[in-house]
Structure 1
Amino acid sequence: MEVLTLETPAGGIHAVRWRPETPSAAQSPIVLLHDSLGCVALWRGFPERLAEATGREVIAYDRLGFGRSAPYPGQLPTTFIADEARTTFAALREALGLERFVLLGHSVGGGMAIEAAGQYADGCEALITVAAQAYMEPRILAGIREAEAAFRDPEQLARLARYHGDRAQWVLRAWVDTWQTEAFDDWHLDDALARVRCSTLAIHGQHDEFGSLAQPRRIASRTPGPAAPSLLPCGHVPHRECPEALVAIVAAFLSHP
């Protein structure tokens, strides 16, 4: 494991690289994009497992404002999903010389991965979304409001602070407030999905509390395939709830993308 700080005009970006013990020849790395409350540390053991199972290097980074990266300058704009592809991800790609890559995004990171796959279609070899949202539906807001209520418990916010320090409250509000703005009432990724040209696997938990099964079906139906999503017997966080099954599905997909 190699820990890096990438200097960007907006500040330092914390990134980590995992290399497999037995790398496959000439395989492009997998870049992980985290969820709304996430960071590198919250992927836990998944990146290392994924590197060993696929024989590929795995790279994860903390978005600006999250984890060990520099603070975000102000409030998160409602364009943040599309912005990520042309800002921090673009800086990561340039700094690490990633001409070819695979993208794997969890939850809102899946939306960012879709945007990046479309914006850098010549470099993206495969796209994997995990528990991603492709359009606004009532279940998303219901899940956010339930989570917001749970975070009124100081112990819950303290757990978030273990990963984000004194920015835990900013991280929470960036998620809760942004998704409940009028700008997200009719939000969708249809235009971004139309730009994706690589093989795409949509993975979703059957009991996901932040998105119905219509979400991965929409992603699968509007990208080059497979035509059907891959469903797991879990909730919103497969890399924590059923990591072995998730790694196996991703490894199988990448062996024949």
Structure 2
Amino acid sequence: MSVQHVSLAWNGRPVEIEIAWILPELSTAPVMVFLHEGLGSVAMWKDFPQRLCQALGWRGLVYSRPGYGRSTPRPVSETWGPDFMHRQARELLPALLQALGLSGPEAPPLWLFGHSDGGSITLLHASGASPSLSGAIVLAPHILVEDISVRSIEVARQAYESGPLRAGLARYHDDPDSAFWGWNRIWLDPAFRDWNITAELAHIHCPVLAVQGLDDEYGTLEQIRGIARQAPQTQLLELPGCGHSPHRDQPEALIAAVQAFVKQQPLRPA
């Protein structure tokens, strides 16, 4: 992947968004946009986006949200509110897609592929998207806050403060404190315990593949089964021997499932 930067305005200031194109020579192919987890970045996807796009014969776009990877770090004084994923889905992502020519009637077929917080952002974008979105694939998304999520995020805080997590994240983020504390503090904020996007899922009209590992340490199967109740066009994939990151724990099974799923769908939404 060749890393570049795109300039946008965000939170009243200019930011540089790290992006990487996959198979850019496939100029007329559908595009899969990858949205990373709460501590993720372009580099933390490793080779999975490349493998998936090669299997599909599609282009791919991977990007790091502000505060992550090689994008502009979060200012120390900036704290996130309970609407932080809504803002990413309905403000930042549309601005990025527009800047890259991936929105509007002349744009190629567009799919979103989101993991964890990126999966929630994907669902929120799809719930308010125009009919141009062809489909969405979400891995271990959050649609509500569960006790298991909070417990695991508390463990992550301990690992960051006194364990090896900070050093590990420093390999992937210019400012690991920006990435970690932006995510960790809002998830552990008592005001976030009531965050719930279940009702908004009924407004999703595109095809959805929702994937979760049976050993996910950050959420129960209610996180994806709740999507299917609200958006009945959703297909579920529940993977044994798999934790919170299906693309790392079960990449072959996931790629095969995505290939089968997208073949069932029209190239463009009706």
Q: Mark yes or no: TM-score above 0.5.
A: yes
1:130 aligned partner, one-letter code:
L
- The CA deviation string for residues 84-134 of structure 1, in whole angstroms up to 9 with x for no partner, is 022321122111111341011100100100111122231211011101111
Deviation at 1:20, TM superposition (A): 7.6
List aligned pairs for 1:80-229, cutoff 5 A: 80-99=84-103, 100-165=109-174, 167-226=175-234, 228-229=235-236
- Aligned counterpart in structure 1 of residue 41 of structure 2, from 34, 39, 42: 39
Say if 1:199 and 1:224, in contact at 8 Å, map to a contact too: no
Q: Find the aligned partners of 2:95 and 2:16 in 1 and give their Cα distance.
A: 11
Deviation at 1:185, TM superposition (A): 1.5
Q: Which secondary structure does the structure 1 equivalent of 2:65 belong to?
A: coil
**What TM-score results when the alignment is normalised by the length of structure 2?**
0.88
Where do 5+ consecutive residues of structure 2 fail to align? 104-108, 266-270
Report the count of equivalent residues. Answer: 253
> For residues 133 and 122 of structure 1, do their structure 2 counterparts lie closer, same or farther at Cα, with a shift above 3 Å needed?
same
Match for residue 249 of structure 1? Answer: 257
Q: Which secondary structure does the structure 2 equivalent of 1:229 belong to?
A: strand
Say if 1:200 and 1:224, in contact at 8 Å, map to a contact too: no
Matched residues, percent identical? 36
Where do 5+ consecutive residues of structure 1 fail to align? none
- The CA deviation string for residues 55-112 of structure 1, in whole angstroms up to 9 with x for no partner, is 1111110000100001224122321100002232112211111134101110010010
Say if 1:46 and 1:243, in contact at 8 Å, map to a contact too: yes
Match for residue 3 of structure 1? Answer: 3
Answer with 235-244 or 207-216: which moved more: 235-244
Q: Find the aligned partners of 2:20 and 2:164 in 1 and give their Cα distance.
A: 28
Quick check: which one's helix share is greater? 1
Q: Which secondary structure does the structure 1 equivalent of 2:145 belong to?
A: coil
Say if 1:118 and 1:196, in contact at 8 Å, map to a contact too: yes
Q: Find the aligned partners of 2:218 and 2:101 in 1 and give their Cα distance.
A: 35
